Amino acid sequence: MQHDYAIDISPAKESTLDKARTLDRFLAQVERKAFRIAELAVSNREEALDIVQDSMIGLVQKYADRPEEEWTPLFYRILQSRIRDWYRKNKVRSKWMSWLGFSKKDDECECEDAMASVPDPAGRDPQQTASNHESMEQLDEAIHNLPYRQQQAFLLRTWEGLSVADTASAMKCSQGSVKTHYSRALHALRLELEDYRYE
C-alpha cells in the first residue's frame, strides 16, 4: 500500500516544482519590463510595483496551467487590466477631489477614446520636453509623455515584441486601434526626437 502512496505523490510534486521553477524563470524575465511599463503608465514607483505584483499573482493563480508560450500575452493582459483599474480609481478620486473643490476642473475632452487622451499623471506636457536635448533623457521623457494608449501600444509592440493581435488582446481594443495608437506614438516620438534621430 505504501508503494501506491509514493507513486501517487511523486509525479504531482515533481510537476508542481517544475511549474514553479518555470514560472519563476518567466516572471524574472518579464518583471523589469513590466515594472517600467507600469511605471511609465502611472508615474509612481510604489503603485507600479503593486501593479506588477498583482499581475504576477494573477498569472500564477489563473494561468499557471496554460502552456508557457501563452504566458507573455496573458501576463501583459493582466498588467494592462491592473493599469486600467488604477486609472479608473484615479479618475473617481479626481472627480471627488474636483467635486470637493480641491481641483480646478475635470478637463476631459470628448474624444472617441477617452483613454487615448489621458494626460501624463505627472502633469508634464510633451511640449515642455521639446527643449530638453539630452538624448537619453529626452527619449524617456518623450515616451513618458505620450497619451496612455499610444504609450502602451508602442511599448508592447516595440519593446516587448507582442504581435498586433496580442497587443489588442492585452489592451482590450481592436487590432485597428493598436495600429493607430502605435503609428501615432511612433510619429510623435520621431517628431519630438528630431535631434535624437540624427545623433
Partner 1 sequence: MSEKDFLQKVNAHLDEQAEHLDAATQSRLNQARQRALEHVKSSEQDHMTDVIAGTRFRWLPASAMAGIAIVALGSFLFLQNINTVPEGGLDDPLEIVTSNNNLDMYEQLDFYMWLVEEDNSAS
Q: Which residues lie near partner 1 (CB under 8 A)?
A: 4-5, 8-9, 12-13, 16-17, 19-20, 23-24, 27-28, 31-33, 35-36, 45, 49, 52-53, 56-57, 59-61, 64, 136, 139-140, 143, 155, 158-159, 186, 189-190, 196-198
Closest distance to partner 1 from the beta carbon of 69 (Å): 19
Closest distance to partner 1 from the beta carbon of 109 (Å): 28
| Nearest to partner 1 of 92, 191 (CB atom) | 191
Radius of gyration of the chain (CA): 21
Check if the beta carbon of residue 191 is closer than 8 Å to that of residue 145: no
| Nearest to partner 1 of 43, 158 (CB atom) | 158
Closest distance to partner 1 from the beta carbon of 55 (Å): 9
Please write down the long-range contacts of 141-147, taking CB distance under 8 Å and 24 or more positions apart.
142/188, 142/189, 142/192, 142/193, 143/40, 143/189, 144/40, 144/43, 144/120, 145/120, 146/185, 146/188, 146/189, 147/116, 147/117, 147/118, 147/119
| Nearest to partner 1 of 114, 139 (CB atom) | 139
Q: How far apart (Å, rounded) are the C-alpha atoms in residues 84 and 148?
A: 10
| Nearest to partner 1 of 27, 114 (CB atom) | 27
| Nearest to partner 1 of 53, 175 (CB atom) | 53
Q: What share of the chain is helix, strand, coil (3-state, %, to 5)?
A: 75, 0, 25
Closest distance to partner 1 from the beta carbon of 139 (Å): 5
